[in-house]
A and B are shown apart, each in its own frame.
Chain A
Amino acid sequence: MKVLTLNFLTCAVKACKSSTASFPLHPKDCELVSDTIEANPALIYNILPRVDWAALMTTASELGFPTLPAQAPTKEELEADEKMMGELHTLLLETQISEGMLRCGNCGHEYRVKEGIANFLLPNHLV
């Protein structure tokens, strides 16, 4: 599962949605792999406004990536900063969680990631 996707996901439990603690989910005992994906600046520009930057900062630090700037770069900044663009591409699109758990900070429920596929199905008592 891509770091980008992690930024789009929160806890599946309805009661958790309103709590800020449920997002982002926290990777636990995660194995990371990296895929090579063709650079696609237009895609990154389109993605950036949809990324929750604060959550991405949390995820990056939890996964052991270098600290991101406190504010999301603008399109102009990215156009001028090839290195930043490359790093974002690597973090958002190339880095994948292959195995591990994702933990909700609100209810504590853990979602399993197996072979890169996260499972968000809930047991009945959480539906």
Chain B
Amino acid sequence: MDYMIRFTQVHETFRLAEIEALAVLEGIHLEVLSYSPSSPFCFVKLPSEDAARRLVKRSILAKAIYEVWGSGSNYLDLHDNVRGLSQHVWPLYKTCSFKFSVDSFQGSRSTTEQRKLIEEFRFLGFDGPIKMKGAEQDFCISEEFQFDAAALGVHQPQAVHLGRYLGGSEREIIGKYDLKKRKYICTTSMDAELALITANITLAAPGKLFYDPFVGSGSFPVACAHFGALAFGSDIDGRSIRGKGKGKPDLVANFIQYGLTNQFGDSFVADLTNTPLRAAKLFDGIVCDPPYGVREGLKVLGCRDPTKGKEPIFRDGKAHHTEESFIPPKKPYSFLAMLDDILDFATLSLVDGGRLSFWMPTSNDLDQEIQIPIHPCLQITSVCTQEFNRWSRRLITYRRIPDSEVVAGVAREQRTKETGVNADDLNPFRKGYFQGFKAAFSSGKLSTSLAALRPDYEVFD
């Protein structure tokens, strides 16, 4: 029999990427029979009922999975189809306790209507007791109404399915990790749902080592730790790791809050472009949301003026840089060069088959679009998009292919490392954000949504 995944109707472009990743993680052969971004019902072939349960158990975007007993474009068809597809299994459920429910997508049904739809399945011949809670078997009638059905006065769904419930997902943990209830967050903390999805797509799991080179308040390490990985993170801004001072929450406070201290690897202060990590296959996954360069968030070590600071500075016979209060100078950097640096770093640091996921923004105007960076050692496994009015952000995921499979000769076009000192010149997204999107930016509506999503970085030096 086939299986039906009941997705939520949010973050549509992330749904298959997440499920396909979970299939890889569980070692399950998954074949998608039908999927549409506009429907929450996805039909798949799987080797077994057990595989179906394992596939969705840690999904964030699936709600549940069902064994398909039938489908149709109306109830007559459905009843016929159920007789044809599932009659042979009816005897198995003849005496067990059971429950029926109705799931109407883009439509609604009164209790009376629901009862009527359910009673029409009396032909299944179940004699067991009906239990609203804790029934041995749950059956679900799933209805798909067309978009805006109510407004158009449409009362019949365009497709109906009957399924036997097999198992649920982990969707409810989004509430546990809600940023509103989190001890330590920063202005760019990643939303709990998207962080958990990212961790799934990157295959975070027990026994694995994960790393976020732009850790901020640690949203990704927390999500990866939730799924059992040992999570590491670093940031060029020590304050983001330490918090605001003694007694105030810091990055570790989040791991304590969620009971994840066993999964906390380490955090340290470092610039990705001058990383102290040795070049070796250390990590199973690298997950990050790099700074986009809007309002000076993107910095690397070094002086703006290339002629300055080539010699250590001495004060009262003491090298200034050895003092505890010393703050190393930083300069703006190109976002595109940083993306290349991330790919190069991931190539060196991921184990074979390990995954890199990062978020990057782009303009929705084609001529201002930022291309997805490529690397011969990294195969793109998924691109998911979260759309806003004038811009979108994408979650791009790569798999580190073993060196033996890397196609020789496809040398990557080396981006000229821009040396400009003006943050606008270095960062096309920043430029678009302030110039290209100006009309939208001043319309009020967008500026609030932008501020909510990617608020200002604190300027630090």
Listed in ascending order, the chain A residues whose CB lies under 8 Å from chain B are 1-2, 4-5, 8-14, 17, 23, 35, 37-38, 40, 42-43, 45-47, 50, 52, 110-112, 114-115, 117-125, 127
Contacts and interface: CB of A to CB of B under 8 A. Distances in A.
Contacts of A110: 322
A52 B242 CA distance: 29
Given A2-B266, A117-B267, A121-B301, A50 B282 contact: yes
Contacts, number: 116
B190 interface: no
Given A5-B232, A50-B351, A121-B274, 8 more contacts: A2-B266, A10-B278, A17-B278, A50-B281, A117-B242, A119-B269, A120-B275, A122-B328
B274 A127 contact: yes
> What is the size category of the interface that chain B forms with chain A?
35 or more
A87 to B, nearest CB: 18
B188 to A, nearest CB: 20
B317 interface: no
Contact of A124 (B265, B270, B275, B309): B309
B306 to A, nearest CB: 10
Given A117-B238, A122-B301, A123-B309, A50 B280 contact: yes
Interface of B: 206-209, 230, 232, 234, 236, 238, 241-242, 261-262, 265-271, 274-282, 284, 301-303, 308-312, 320-322, 324, 326, 328-329, 351
Nearest to A119: B269
Contacts of B238: 117, 119, 121
B234 to A, nearest CB: 8
B445 to A, nearest CB: 40
Query: 9 shortest A-B CB distances, which residue pairs?
Result: A124-B309, A123-B321, A42-B207, A12-B276, A120-B270, A120-B276, A5-B266, A119-B269, A10-B278
Contacts of A119: 238, 268-269
A118 B268 contact: yes
A118 B261 CA distance: 19
